[in-house]
């Protein structure tokens, strides 16, 4: 036997435990907002989901790292088949998502207005271990709400029981076909044409440039009835069943799967529609308005999944910091590393509270208990929350990668995928800028500013702790400044130019107000000071981003000459 000359150092990988049991922020929030009887009822489900997320699914995710969806366009006998095979992790995720009712929960309404919170709490635990399987879930949820809102009894009867089924064998998922080569943000440039068929249905012709749920059974698609008005007002919303009774795509070809930076498990495809059978959803015009419920729901999913992604990155970085020794001390006791992780946790907690606030608004709206203020908030906050958390998640995950040093940059740790997957969150369902412009439109509606400022004032009122109270005044002052700037901005180009700073100021001010409210509750009810530190720390980060400047942006953005003097 050969005696080793030295004991080689062996680095321990980061480890995850039960992701529900380990998540102070989620548990504390649910403790505050759910009636005790409801929490007791759903806690076992949250516990098993947390166990899977930190155990079975996380292990499968690491093992599945190299697997990606594959497209087979032709079978051995020369027939065009366009079959997409999903990775093992996604097949398992589909099964579990149906069983846990990740789409079904808010439609079953077992827990009234809190059904949405329970659904999103489960999805938040599920998301980071399933490589963005929440993408088809979000769209299916959005499709269910859109069909209900449109109110066509035949479509509701056909699709709703399947979209919301808990039986994995019966459950459907839906896609959303908006983006075309000619425009994603500007869907008014869509070229897909709808032609009436003799049986009263329609046929769609065109190209859809990003279709992320091509393995789903249905899609909601925008198209222009032949000869219809140009621009967005000429678009109509259609319901498409992708396959015939034998499972063959009907009038649809999959040209290729996208080769993407991240979301590599999501089978995002380019589609060619060659007479795909479709049915009208709602009225002949007004398709963009008809698809608003879909966007509202998917933007809320996006926000919650941004919070979930941040939480996963931090959980891994926190565990690793306890295992990694540098300069004879674990990273978890190196003051500067600790400060870095604390800053990430602070951003995550702000994002968590904003995204779950919006989820709660949706729940209240669905059961008809939303008051006027909540209804106004639900019009504006899905965009604000999506754009705010979308920027936060990219910054947080970038720092998470660095927190692992070189290991964070190495593929078989599974870590780089976290950052890549995070980077889709500010892009799809509306980019940061496009949602900032959307926020301007919502702010122009009467009562919107009052609802936002009222929320911050009410949330941070009556706080005894002097530092929290000061932070509350800071949140309200930032919103008041934002409103003054909005009222004074005047011309459209000036307003648009500042729209991102405006929307982010609203998002960050509300995050601060919500952190304060939760901190006060947690101090009093849980005797825990951690939420307070998060709120106070967050108050020291940039909240008011309004800039009353007037630089010539074209000089830099388009490198236009700028003569001096
Ligand atoms: C992985 C992935 C999956 C996707 N899946 C789907 C799907 O299933 N279904 C679907 O319909 N779409 C899907 N998309 C498409 C996505 O929604 C669009 O890419 C997105 O909406 C942006 O549209 P675009 O790509 O045309 O970019 P553009 O609209 O061309 O935007 C380019 C840039 O210009 C900015 N910009 C645009 N207009 C303005 C303006 N007026 N003022 C200031 N800035 C502006 C944007 O912020 C962006 O930075 C997916 C995208 C990705 C990456």
**CA 113 – CA 103 distance, rounded (Å):** 15
CA of 266 to the centre of ligand 1 (A): 17
CB count in 10 Å sphere of residue 291: 25
Say yes or no: CB of residue 210 within 6 Å of ligand 1: yes
Q: Which of 192, 294, 434 to mutate to test the pocket of ligand 1 (most atoms within 8 A of CB)?
A: 434
CA of 237 to the centre of ligand 1 (A): 19
DSSP lists the bridge partners of residue 183 as: 180
Q: How far is CA 298 from CA 235, 483, 518, in A?
A: 20, 27, 26
Q: Which of 105, 107, 121 is nearest to 48 (CA)?
A: 121
**CA 298 – CA 429 distance, rounded (Å):** 7
- Whether the per-residue pLDDT at 451 is higher than 80: the answer is yes
CA of 306 to the centre of ligand 1 (A): 18
Say yes or no: CB of residue 179 within 6 Å of ligand 1: yes
Q: Which of 431, 494, 557 to mutate to test the pocket of ligand 1 (most atoms within 8 A of CB)?
A: 431
Say yes or no: CB of residue 120 within 6 Å of ligand 1: no
**CA 511 – CA 92 distance, rounded (Å):** 35
Q: 73 — phi, psi (to 5°)?
A: -85, -30
How far does Cα 283 stand from its chain's mean position?
29
What angle separates helix 88-100 from helix 115-126, to the nearest 10 degrees? 160
**CA 510 – CA 472 distance, rounded (Å):** 10
Dump pLDDT digits (tens) for 112-171.
Answer: 889 999 999 999 999 999 999 999 999 999 999 999 999 999 999 999 999 999 999 999
CB count in 10 Å sphere of residue 31: 14
**CA 444 – CA 250 distance, rounded (Å):** 43
**CA 152 – CA 147 distance, rounded (Å):** 7
CA of 309 to the centre of ligand 1 (A): 21
Q: Which two tokens stand for residue 544?
A: 């008011």
Report CA Rg, the chain: 24
CA of 432 to the centre of ligand 1 (A): 10
Atom of ligand 1 lying closest to residue 185 CA:
29
Mean pLDDT of the chain: 96
Dump pLDDT digits (tens) for 382-398.
Answer: 999 999 999 999 999 99
Say yes or no: CB of residue 178 within 6 Å of ligand 1: yes
Dump pLDDT digits (tens) for 346-380.
Answer: 999 999 999 999 999 999 999 999 999 999 999 99
CA of 454 to the centre of ligand 1 (A): 33
Atom of ligand 1 lying closest to residue 433 CA:
47
Atom 51 in ligand 1: which residue has the minimum CA distance?
428
Say yes or no: CB of residue 260 within 6 Å of ligand 1: yes
Average pLDDT (80-93) is 96
**CA 385 – CA 347 distance, rounded (Å):** 13
Say yes or no: CB of residue 185 within 6 Å of ligand 1: yes
- Whether the per-residue pLDDT at 407 is higher than 90: the answer is yes
What angle separates helix 24-33 from helix 530-539, to the nearest 10 degrees? 100
- pLDDT at site 316: 98
Dump pLDDT digits (tens) for 177-226.
Answer: 999 999 889 999 999 999 999 999 999 999 999 999 889 999 999 999 99
Cβ–Cβ under 8 Å, residues 508 and 545? yes
Cβ–Cβ under 8 Å, residues 377 and 384? no
Cβ–Cβ under 8 Å, residues 18 and 47? yes
Say yes or no: CB of residue 209 within 6 Å of ligand 1: no
The residues near 274 (Cβ < 8 Å, ≥ 6 apart) are 205, 251, 252, 253
**CA 104 – CA 75 distance, rounded (Å):** 36
Global pTM reads 0.97
- CA within 13 Å, CB half, 294: 29
Say yes or no: CB of residue 211 within 6 Å of ligand 1: yes
- Whether the per-residue pLDDT at 8 is higher than 90: the answer is no
Say yes or no: CB of residue 263 within 6 Å of ligand 1: yes
Say yes or no: CB of residue 212 within 6 Å of ligand 1: yes
**CA 315 – CA 354 distance, rounded (Å):** 20
Q: For the residues of 93-128, what is the DSSP string, one character each?
A: HHHHHHHHTTTTHHHHTTTGGGHHHHHHHHHHHHGG
Q: How far is CA 355 from CA 297, 361, 388, 439, 553, in A?
A: 12, 10, 10, 16, 32
Q: Classify residue 367 as exposed, middle or buried by CB count within 10 Å of its CB (0-12, 13-18, 19+).
A: middle
Say yes or no: CB of residue 431 within 6 Å of ligand 1: yes
**CA 410 – CA 54 distance, rounded (Å):** 21
Q: Which two tokens stand for residue 167?
A: 């039986």
Q: How confident is the model at residue 2 (pLDDT cuts 50, 70, 90)?
A: low
- pLDDT at site 79: 94
Do the bridges between strand 269-280 and strand 236-241 make them parallel or antiparallel, or are there none, so unpaired? antiparallel
CA of 541 to the centre of ligand 1 (A): 29
């Amino acid at each position: 036997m050969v005696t080793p000359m030295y004991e080689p150092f062996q680095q321990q990988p980061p480890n995850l435990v039960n992701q529900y049991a380990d998540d102070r922020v989620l548990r504390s929030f649910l403790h505050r907002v759910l009636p005790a009887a409801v929490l007791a009822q759903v806690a076992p489900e949250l516990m098993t989901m947390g166990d899977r997320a930190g155990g079975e699914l996380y292990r499968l995710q690491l093992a599945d790292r190299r697997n990606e969806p594959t497209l087979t366009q032709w079978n051995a006998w020369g027939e065009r088949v366009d079959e997409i095979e999903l990775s093992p992790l996604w097949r398992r995720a589909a099964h579990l998502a149906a069983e846990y009712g990740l789409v079904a929960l808010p439609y079953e309404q077992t827990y009234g207005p809190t059904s949405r919170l329970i659904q999103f709490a489960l999805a938040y635990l599920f998301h980071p271990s399933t490589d963005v399987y929440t993408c088809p879930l979000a769209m299916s949820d959005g499709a269910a709400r859109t069909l209900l809102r449109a109110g066509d009894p035949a479509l509701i009867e056909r699709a709703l029981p399947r979209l919301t089924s808990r039986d994995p064998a019966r459950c459907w998922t839906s896609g959303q076909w908006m983006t075309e080569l000619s425009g994603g943000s500007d869907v008014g440039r869509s070229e897909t044409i709808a032609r009436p068929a003799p049986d009263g249905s329609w046929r769609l012709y065109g190209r859809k440039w990003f279709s992320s749920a091509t393995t789903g059974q249905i899609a909601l698609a925008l198209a222009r009835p032949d000869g219809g008005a140009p621009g967005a007002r000429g678009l109509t919303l259609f319901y498409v069943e992708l396959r015939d009774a034998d499972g063959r795509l009907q009038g649809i070809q999959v040209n290729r799967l996208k080769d993407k930076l991240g979301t590599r498990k999501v089978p995002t495809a380019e589609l060619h529609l060659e007479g795909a059978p479709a049915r009208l959803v709602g009225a002949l015009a007004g398709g963009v308005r008809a698809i608003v419920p879909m966007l509202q729901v998917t933007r809320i999913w996006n926000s919650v999944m941004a919070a979930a992604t941040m939480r996963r990155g931090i959980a891994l970085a926190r565990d690793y910091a306890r295992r990694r020794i540098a300069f004879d001390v674990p990273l978890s006791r190196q003051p500067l590393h600790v400060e870095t992780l604390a800053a990430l946790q602070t951003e995550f907690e702000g994002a968590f509270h904003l995204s779950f606030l919006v989820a709660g608004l949706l729940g209240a709206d669905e059961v008809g208990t939303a008051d006027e203020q909540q209804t106004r908030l639900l019009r504006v906050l899905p965009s604000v929350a999506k754009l705010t958390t979308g920027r936060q998640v990219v910054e947080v995950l970038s720092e998470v990668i660095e927190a692992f040093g070189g290991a964070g940059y190495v593929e078989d740790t599974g870590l780089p995928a976290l950052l890549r997957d995070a980077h889709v969150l500010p892009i799809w369902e509306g980019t940061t800028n496009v949602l900032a412009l959307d926020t301007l439109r919502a702010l122009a509606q009467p009562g919107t500013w009052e609802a936002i400022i009222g929320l911050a004032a009410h949330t941070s009122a009556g706080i005894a702790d002097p530092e929290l109270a000061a932070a509350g005044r800071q949140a309200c002052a930032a919103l008041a400044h934002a409103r003054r700037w909005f009222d004074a901005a005047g011309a459209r180009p000036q307003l648009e130019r500042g729209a991102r700073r405006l929307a982010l100021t609203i998002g960050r001010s509300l995050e601060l107000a919500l952190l304060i409210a939760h901190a006060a509750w947690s101090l009093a009810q849980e005797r825990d000071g951690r939420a307070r530190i998060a709120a106070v720390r967050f108050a020291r980060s940039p909240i008011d981003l309004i800039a009353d400047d007037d630089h010539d942006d074209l000089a830099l953005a388009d490198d236009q000459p700028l003569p001096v003097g």
